[in-house]
Structure 1
């Protein structure tokens, strides 16, 4: 396992947290650096951070140096993904009390809003050929004012200019964080299905968050996570053979780890370890590393950093 500079710095935090628990101190900063995505050339990572008081996008070198702010916009700007040609970043942003999809050049220029639907449009990801952007949308839900987790979130895709939006699923369910396989034939997404399960904090839930692989039209679903725990944030490997995701199946409450599974649901193995929680994984272009959000959560909130993990063959 090779640790990035961001991870080395983050490793100092457990000692500080332990001290805080014994000296009655109160944590005043809750800095969150999450949702990393690697550039196609493997040299940089884009991520979201709340260090300014709201979520903005930042870019840094893969060793943690050279951090620069990419966006400076009203509302929260989150879940970035790098275009295959390395020139643009797609992301979701809160505008007018809803989430929409935006695109911007890597130098922060040419910002464009791509969606304007009444429901939330979230979690955008590029297709491998760069011709479309996949995202989940609540635009077909019967009651947009209902609680987010009870709305219908279907998988859509559109061209990078925001035109030709088309639905890939019609499940009338919560289907989020979707992406198309490199060959464009299959989808992977997180789906909330009925049944006894556990939330991230291991409290009981009547809906189970699973990782599903399906054809590009949402048919022929295969549950590849198959666990009562919370499974989420799936991403295809660059070769289309594996899926990385996060799960809290190993516990304890509020702690998840990164897993890799073959696209048919076989050969599950754990990637990350340790007392810290890990979520929001994304592959490096070489398929040998993943970047993730390493986080600690307690009664005072959460804080965490971007880390790099090597994935064993």
Structure 2
């Protein structure tokens, strides 16, 4: 197989344009979106674009080395509020949609985000991080120099810790600030703080009559020990709030019906801990009754697709239909995500589902149509217009020059029967320049989570390995989403058991059925849970000639106490905490089997990874090096657990180069 296009290169990563957050204008004639690209300062720019539904060329609304996002149209469509870092921190800005300069709305010391209009267009609700005694009337954004000075001073002070949840991978060490809900009176330019509890609040929606605000938070006294997230109704006149949920589950993505008498929400009660399928609930505000619309389904609601080129947030639902008789949402199923509709009578309808990744949508109530964001295995992203009759029209042609120049491998879907009869779905990529009769080295990719899903989306790392001459296999072993509740729960309390044999069975299957794979040149890699599994594999078989473990777990005993999720994750996934049965946690720790490792192992880890802290990689490196094994440790400064997905562009490329270097050396 020959190609007139060139092979993919590592530096192509910085050429990609990534779309997100489609928003249809109130009149339905236009939609806006966010485009994110790498810039020359080893960072990203995010800019706002608008395009006619008729498909005319998109028009760029914002410019410069800044991040702009979360554009929301006013109800009359004449103005748009968005968040931007153009002043230094993320603040809210207003833009006239018919042309003109943006005007800054907030100057909060810690920034402002997530704006939403009231239904009458008189108010804007948003998030702000505040200290307990902060005065909204004295909020002033610091200069870059002032922020640096404050940060330097903070580094010289000891960190006093009093809670379990004192750090997180995305935010680092926490302080005493809490996310509060603020409302801006647009006409009078005045701010009012709506919440004051010692908790982080997440705005969900404002009622159509503007009298009640819907938010999510954990306001329980034992919130530090819990993972629940409740829904609350806040009366904007009395400032009293009422809890809608029972304190035993996690609820999010909630909104009022157009008439305001019902609320819809995603959520679940942690029946299977972190492996619980999300449900869709409707709350009747008059009767207080809660109805689960999805109780007979066996699919995961929302977008659980894993990729390494998705930047920015997008709507996954649920969204009310204009007539309030049904709801729209994205669901994750069988390696794809699609757009679905459910009636209040619980009738499920597929509106759009192909072999690809619907990563976001916007609903036009007037025309009962949608703008869909879609990625496929061979196209990073584009927007499409889905009409009521099912007609699909492409609106954008992102990355056109890139796709015309670079060869992208089309995956072959495979299905493998596991030892116990479970069907394991996977995908196989042929190498660039594939020639019949030739033998090629092979790499097995293992996803993180473990409760997530590989599938029909663009994955740069897979494509790069194929471009470098490898056959690439990626699968969804038990524990993955997309195949029902029993399947996603099947790896809990069995790490290194059925999930391991699923992967090995898949490898055996492709070796038996694809003669172009060289069984003497097998490699394996994965990150997070996939890193754990890579570590487990090399401690239990020598069939792989090279391995790369990324942001991995090697020791469940220490993971319990150092990870930002360790104190509950070991219980969720293994059924026990450190003090319950340390011997059992040691039995399933890859570090225990270091003496068995004969596979050359490259360990990649971010220095600021709080999810799977760098000491996990360090322990494994020291043990293997002390045993005189073939091992190398690469530590990425300033990088957290999201290095491969949203890390600095230069570090992301460095990581890919090290993976390729290791496999080229040993395969």
Taking structure 1 as the reference length, the TM-score comes to 0.68
Name the SS of the counterpart of 1:191 in structure 2: strand
Alignment of 1:146-157 (within 5 A): 146=225, 150-157=226-233
Structure 2: distance between partners of 1:27 and 1:272 = 36
Instruction: Flag the structure with larger Rg.
Output: 2
Hey, which of these two has a bigger chunk of helix by percent?
A: 2
**Aligned with 2:282 (options 187, 196, 213):** 213
Alignment of 1:169-184 (within 5 A): 169-184=245-260
**Aligned with 1:94 (options 114, 121, 129):** 129
**Aligned with 2:44 (options 19, 23, 29):** 29
Can you list the C-alpha shifts for 1:66-120, whole angstroms capped at 9, x where unaligned? 6443322222423322111111011222223211111002358111100001122
Conserved? CA contact 2:301–2:330, under 8 Å? no
Structure 2: distance between partners of 1:250 and 1:63 = 43
Name the SS of the counterpart of 1:268 in structure 2: strand
Can you list the C-alpha shifts for 1:28-79, whole angstroms capped at 9, x where unaligned? 2253554444322244443434455533233445689764433222224233
Taking structure 2 as the reference length, the TM-score comes to 0.35
Tell me by how many angstroms 1:295 deviates.
10
Conserved? CA contact 2:281–2:290, under 8 Å? no
Report the counterpart of residue 109 of structure 1 in structure 2: 189
Alignment of 1:1-313 (within 5 A): 4=30, 6-7=32-33, 10=35, 27-31=42-46, 33-50=68-85, 52-60=87-95, 67-96=102-131, 97-106=177-186, 109-140=189-220, 142-146=221-225, 150-161=226-237, 163-194=239-270, 205-216=274-285, 217=288, 219-223=290-294, 227-228=299-300, 230=302, 232-249=316-333, 259-270=340-351, 278-279=359-360, 283=363, 286=366, 288=368, 312=388
Gapped runs of 5+ residues in structure 2? 1-23, 47-66, 132-176, 304-315, 376-380, 390-667
Report the CA distance shift for 1:182/1:247 in structure 2 as closer, same or farther (over 3 A): same
Gapped runs of 5+ residues in structure 1? 198-204, 297-303
Report the CA distance shift for 1:64/1:120 in structure 2 as closer, same or farther (over 3 A): farther
Conserved? CA contact 1:288–1:310, under 8 Å? no
Q: How many residues align?
A: 279
> RMSD of the TM alignment (CA)?
4.3
Can you list the C-alpha shifts for 1:160-209, whole angstroms capped at 9, x where unaligned? 35612112222521112322223333221121343669xxxxxxx52333
Structure 1: distance between partners of 2:268 and 2:106 = 32
Report the CA distance shift for 1:49/1:209 in structure 2 as closer, same or farther (over 3 A): farther
**Bigger RCO of structures 1 and 2 (CA < 8 A, at least 6 apart):** 1
